[in-house]
Amino acid sequence: MIRELVIPISQEQEDVLVDHVLLGTELGLLPDERAWMMSHAQKAHPGCKIISADLNIEEAEWTLTLETA
């Protein structure tokens, strides 16, 4: 089954996002952000697989598309 889950971005990723918006720096994904997403996804739907993650810059949140059993 395919589900969507919306979660906030991590504080560290938010710092990168603010720099991007205010200073025009490159917007990149921090290495720990994947673990952050997986942690939230597994809490909500144990055993799920993340198919995609879309960043909503205005809301500072991720929309995760999950495959669940």
Model confidence pLDDT, tens digit, residues 5-23: 999 999 999 999 999 999 9
Instruction: At 52, list the tokens.
Output: 């995609």
Q: What is the pTM of this model?
A: 0.90
Task: Output the average pLDDT for the chain.
Answer: 96
pLDDT score of 22: 95
Report residue 29 as tokens. 């994904």
Asked if 21 and 56 touch (Cβ cutoff 8 Å), the reply is no
Confidence (pLDDT) at 69: 82
Other Cβ atoms within 10 Å of 40 Cβ, number: 18
pLDDT score recorded for residue 66: 98
